[in-house]
Structure 1
């Protein structure tokens, strides 16, 4: 594998685990819903914080942790539904849409309650930006294949949450999806042998409908987003 050859080859990347831990602590303590700063401004600041290869490693960890915690949360919710109702729900990481179609009203969108303390519209969004900016260097610090899978999962969770999970499509949510879409495109373009697009992405790409995008703090529409058209533009380029 190219990423492993580069890790083991010449000019190894010099990483500082202590700095990575410090960056993670600062991400958790300084940013998030508790900070009295607009989410978009926090994303910009947090992305600047995660500079260099150590910042890229931390960004990869944030993305992976968010996806893993969301999956664990949904499995726990599905188990709880089965205990209460006898109804068995299948939680499949490669395609969350069937789960949300079947049981959306009974589920809680997991990205707002990640136990690690990251907020989807702040730290996770910033990590996605950093991963996209460092796409050409990813194979120096990690295997990009599982990472792109986690990015697809977050994209699936977010868009399924809009459609079936009562998650409001506001400018912060739309910005997260745009960042995920762009970053996935960059990571795939940097891979020697990129994976196939997963089923939920292919399903959305067949659509051409626009969704209203709302102001985060007011009940008014400020724009629209056409997921299918945008995904085709970025992922089929």
Structure 2
């Protein structure tokens, strides 16, 4: 395992916060379920727009806003059932209250879709990880990536969410982004509890076509996490 790397520290990068906010708002309005285009095609188009430092920071903002909104939804649900929620590890609350919980990744008030804007932002984080650690603090971003990964896999396990090509792609990119961002950091932080728990598993799951009942592949998130995050 890589425990320490030398590298340049975070730079003070001049950027326009207004441009970042405007870009995120534009992505909310121009892309989503209201657009007559496949989710992967929209995600690819969004990723192409997230260029330069403003684009990278907009990608970070998308991940942060989505993770915060998902946490707020989980907190509200759990509080109504008198359960506590730790956003570093959602698995205990899912195990305790799964039949009464709704998977929180769709229809969040933040207006970001997991398979469009979030998938695009996570892709950019993976491909531009070395630059991201220079322009912003990577620690909260890494926590948000693993938080979304935790909730994604929990949906399969506890909320009976069907694993299709869109959610499999998001999962793959979250794991890849986690690997690449940790690799770009000067010191790798420890993996969170849900990731460590999932890495001890070897479950292979059928992946369905996003628009039909046809099985088109299989995914083993525990195996992929071991290969990517323990290399």
TM range, normalised to the smaller chain? over 0.9
User: How far apart are the structure 2 equivalents of 1:3 and 1:93?
Assistant: 30
User: How far apart are the structure 1 equivalents of 2:88 and 2:34?
Assistant: 32
**Is the 8 Å Cα contact of residues 156 and 163 (structure 2) preserved in structure 1?**
yes
Of 217, 232, 236, the residue aligned with 2:230 is: 236
* Distance apart, 1:3 and its partner CA: 10
Of 179, 182, 195, the residue aligned with 1:185 is: 179
User: How far apart are the structure 1 equivalents of 2:7 and 2:151?
Assistant: 28
Q: Deviations over 1:90-142 (max 9, x none)?
A: 21111101111111121111110221100011101111011111110112221
User: How far apart are the structure 2 equivalents of 1:158 and 1:167?
Assistant: 9
**Is the 8 Å Cα contact of residues 78 and 93 (structure 2) preserved in structure 1?**
no
Q: Deviations over 1:15-62 (max 9, x none)?
A: 122322221122001111111100111110000011111000000011
Of 97, 106, 109, the residue aligned with 1:115 is: 109
Match of 1:35 in 2: 35
Q: Could you state the TM-score of these two structures normalised by the residue count of structure 2?
A: 0.93
- How many equivalent pairs are there? 226
**Is the 8 Å Cα contact of residues 10 and 136 (structure 2) preserved in structure 1?**
no
The SS at the match of 2:44 is helix
* Distance apart, 1:80 and its partner CA: 2.1
Provide the alpha-carbon RMSD of the alignment. 1.6
The SS at the match of 2:10 is helix
The structure richer in helix per residue is: 1
* Aligned structure 1 segments of 4 or more residues deviating by more than 4 angstroms: 2-5
User: How far apart are the structure 2 equivalents of 1:169 and 1:45?
Assistant: 23
Match of 1:18 in 2: 18
Q: Give the unaligned 5+ runs of structure 1.
A: 82-87
User: How far apart are the structure 1 equivalents of 2:10 and 2:205?
Assistant: 42
Match of 1:104 in 2: 98
